[in-house]
Amino acid sequence: MPKATEKDLDTLFKFLNADIGSMDGDSLRDLIHELAIFYSVEGIHPKLLEFTKHYERLAGKVGFESSPEAVKDRKKFLTDLQAHARSRVDEIIAIAEGQKSGVLLEMMGTVGVVIQNDRFREEVKSDLNVTDPLEEEKLRFDTRLVDLLQHLDLRPSRFRRCVRCGNYFYQESKKERLYCSIRCSAAVRQGKYLARRRRKEGEKGKRRKK
């Protein structure tokens, strides 16, 4: 199985742009479900086992209850993780635009090779002993991000933020995109059209007064 797919990239941007604060318990579990799939790369364990492990860890109590306290706790945890993820992509954008330079990601760890399903598989394990659940999750996200950057043919200069709504997106082609969606580009065009119309009406009004 490949280390990363286009669907993983879609999930990454969905997480970056998620409005976690407004989610109810069901929406939160849907997001956690997608994140668990995002993390589930088949290595020495079957993928279903990997998914279950990641889902239970990410969901916490909200995996089996929807009490206000459980939902609030998971929202806080995922919002903090999202802020970390956004900072990584912001750094990619800043380096690509020449605003800063340096190493994007640096982690201490070991690289091993396992044999599974008659294939050689590369496995990267961190040497850092992290006990805080959030810091551990940040490290796990960084490791998964490295997988995406290594195994998908991505251009740093194509990581973008929408100039209208601020959402993150990846520009698939060479043609420059300023907006994350047709909705945003249409809203901007509509705004410009209305501004021109108001300006023309204002000029007509001035001529009538003369």
Task: Tell me if 183 is assigned to some domain.
Answer: no
Please indicate, yes or no, if residue 160 is contained in any of the structural domains.
no
Specify if 176 maps to a domain. no
Q: Residue-wise pLDDT tens for the chain (210 aa)?
A: 456 788 999 999 999 999 999 999 899 999 999 999 998 876 555 678 889 989 999 998 887 777 889 999 999 999 999 999 999 999 999 999 888 877 787 776 777 776 766 766 666 666 666 788 999 899 889 989 988 988 888 999 999 999 999 999 999 998 999 999 999 999 999 988 888 888 877 666 666 665
> Is the residue at 177 inside a domain?
no
* Cβ burial 25-37 (10 Å sphere, 16+ → b, else e): beebbebbbbbbb
Please say whether the beta carbons of 39 and 49 come within 8 A. no
Q: Which domain holds residue 98?
A: 6-152
Judge whether 205 lies within some domain.
no
Between CA 48 and CA 117 the distance in angstroms is 15
* Whole-angstrom distance, CA of residue 129 vs CA of residue 150: 24
Q: Does residue 184 lie in a domain region?
A: no
Q: Domains in the chain: how many in total?
A: 1
